[in-house]
Amino acid sequence: MNAPAALTLRAWVGRPVLPDAALACVLFVVCLLMNGGFDLVRTQADQPGGGGWSGPGVLWVWWVATALTMVGVTLRRRQPVAMLILCALSAGARAAVGVLPTVMDLAVLILLYTVASRCSRPASLLALGGLLLGAAWLIGGSPVDQPLRMPAFRVCSRHVVPSGPAGAEVGAAGIDTACHGSGSSPWRGLPVLGSGLIAAWAVGYGSRNRRAYLEQLHARAQGLERERDHQAALAVAAERGRISREVHDVVAHGLSLIVVQAQGAEAALDNRPGDTRAALQTIVATGRDALADMRRVLAALGEMEDTWHSQPGLARLPSLLTRVRHAGTPVRLRIDGTPAALPSTVDLSAYRIVQEALTNVIKHAGAGATADVVVSYGHAEVAIEVSDDGEGISGDDRGTAGGNGLPGMHRRVKLLGGHLSAEPGDRGGFVVRAGLPINGQNA
């Protein structure tokens, strides 16, 4: 069997109408085996005055009602209310012609269960009430109530009498036998039938509540799964932004120094070979440092195993300033307060802010500009100030000139709960000031 045919067969077998049709066939076969449907109908048809009809029409009514009952059971999940009415009318028709209740009448209970499990509570209660009223009418108030009555029985008692009175029935051994009938009450079958209907409704309504509870749990699980995926996406985006800032800081600073040194080497190539050699050596050293920093960033992604390179921090500022001086920009460093151990995130962000600010000085301050770096250690935060006396582009232009330097610094400071300002200085040049909390975000 090819794959499309197998899929079609599996889809057809998975339809609910197939097991329902099998259930209808099982009810019919069990009815024939247990109740003797043919003999039962013939017996009721042959009994004169049995409370129902007589003649061959009874057999036809039973067959048509039974067939309609099987149809109702087969289509119970598609149209539960309509099929319940169909099965109830079929059961009433069988009772009307004088046929005693059989296994096929259990279809009414099955359909009531289906209505209670698939329809709303008011609709299922209305169906239950209608069936109870119909059963009460058939048992107690209709001319066709005989099949639904409990059968009558006789109670007999015997006792010995010395001499029986006149008219008394005396046995051969002098035993008096008195018998009386219990009668046939039209309401004896109602508690049994009503209990069955109520039980079927209760089971169906419980199944509906359980299914609703499981659907609620499933929806809640899907919501939690979506929330987890959303949190994972946010974490990935945050990590991607952090790595992007790291790569930008490493590449932008290193390439800026390399470009400046290459320009100086080109200018001094003919007249000052010694300066050219020094510029090339600075380019090599800067490239190696940038490559080492890049390897460290990539190691965080798991793409390289070079993880022994430590995170840069404020302790490495002297080497950073040395590279900047070799690039041709004089820079001075001042430390205020007592240097203290900083959290790794604060230490790294402080270093990157100084690095990016000096990169902007090299790129935008112009020739002959000098820079000052001040690091102040306080009790609650570490303050950073990088200023220059150049005449480069303004602060707005530095933030929108196609680079990510100032936006990257703002993101770093915001993540740590600090504050940052980048604006032209009072006496010219440009000033970057940042404050990073040492023990968590500031209040």
pLDDT tens per residue across span 17-28: 888 899 999 988
Mean pLDDT of 354-367: 85
CA atoms within 13 A on the CB side of 425: 18
Enter the DSSP assignment of 272. Answer: -
pLDDT digits (tens, 9 = 90+) for 369-405: 889 999 999 888 999 999 998 875 555 555 444 456 7
Q: What is the pLDDT of residues 261-310, one digit of tens each?
A: 777 777 777 777 777 777 777 777 777 777 777 777 666 555 444 444 46
Averaged pLDDT, 87-92: 90
Predicted confidence at residue 153, as pLDDT, reads 42
405 to 324, 396, 397: CA distances (angstroms): 17, 12, 12
Please report the beta strands in 41-170, taking only residues with DSSP state E, as ranges in sequence order: 154-160
Distances (CA, A) of 19 to 13, 23, 67, 324: 9, 6, 17, 82
Return the ∠ at Cα 176 (arms to 175 and 182), rounded to 5°. 135
| Cβ–Cβ < 8 Å for 91, 70 | no
Beta strands per DSSP E along 282-418: 331-336, 371-377, 381-388
Mention every residue, 6+ apart, whose C-beta is less than 8 A from residue 264. 275, 279, 328
Closest CA to 245 of 362, 416, 382, 390: 416
Are 442 and 380 in contact by the 8 Å Cβ rule? The answer is yes
**Smallest Cα–Cα separation from 127: which of 204, 75, 240, 179?**
204
Burial letters 236-267, b for 16+ CB under 10 A, else e: eeeeeebeebbebbbebbbebbbebbeebbee
Asked if residue 209 has pLDDT above 80, the reply is yes
Mean of per-residue pLDDT scores for the chain: 76
Residue 326 or residue 432, greater confidence: 432
- Residues 429-438 have a mean pLDDT of 91
What percent of the chain is predicted at pLDDT more than 70? 72
**Residue 309 to residue 295: CA distance in whole angstroms:** 8
Rounded distance between C-alpha atoms, residue 168 and residue 176, angstroms:
8
CA dihedral 55, 61, 67, 70 (to 10 degrees): -110
Which residues 6+ apart lie within 8 Å of 283 measured at CB?
257, 258, 261, 262, 265
How is the beta sheet containing 331-336 ordered, strand by strand?
A: 331-336, 371-377, 381-388, 430-437, 419-424
Name which of 103, 118, 128, 127 is nearest 199 in CA terms. Answer: 128
What is the CATH superfamily name and number for domain 313-443? Histidine kinase-like ATPase, C-terminal domain (3.30.565.10)
Separation CA 337–CA 375 (nearest Å): 8
| 401 within 8 A of 344, measured Cβ to Cβ | no
Sequence letter at residue 23: L
Write down the residue that tokens 């919501």 correspond to. 223
- Mean pLDDT over residues 125-153, rounded? 67
C-alpha to C-alpha distances, 98 to 61, 68, 106, 135, 367, nearest whole angstrom? 11, 18, 17, 15, 115
Distance CA 348, CA 315 (A): 10
**Confidence (pLDDT) at 36:** 60
Mean pLDDT, range 208-217, rounded to an integer: 91
Question: HSE of 416 in the Cβ direction (CA atoms, 13 Å)?
Answer: 28
Residue 82, CB-side half-sphere exposure with 13 Å CA sphere? 6
46 pLDDT tier (thresholds 50, 70, 90): low
Confidence category of residue 140, pLDDT binned at 50, 70, 90: low
Give the mean model confidence (pLDDT) for residues 331-348: 88
The number of CA neighbours under 13 Å toward the Cβ of 273 is 0
Q: Give, as one character, the DSSP assignment of residue 428.
A: S
The answer on pLDDT for 50 being more than 80 is no
pLDDT at 82: 92
Average pLDDT over residues 177-186: 48
Residue 169 has pLDDT above 50, yes or no: no
**Domain residue ranges of the chain, discontinuous segments joined by +:** 3-149, 313-443
Beta pairing, strands 371-377 & 331-336: parallel
Both tokens of residue 220? Answer: 């809640």
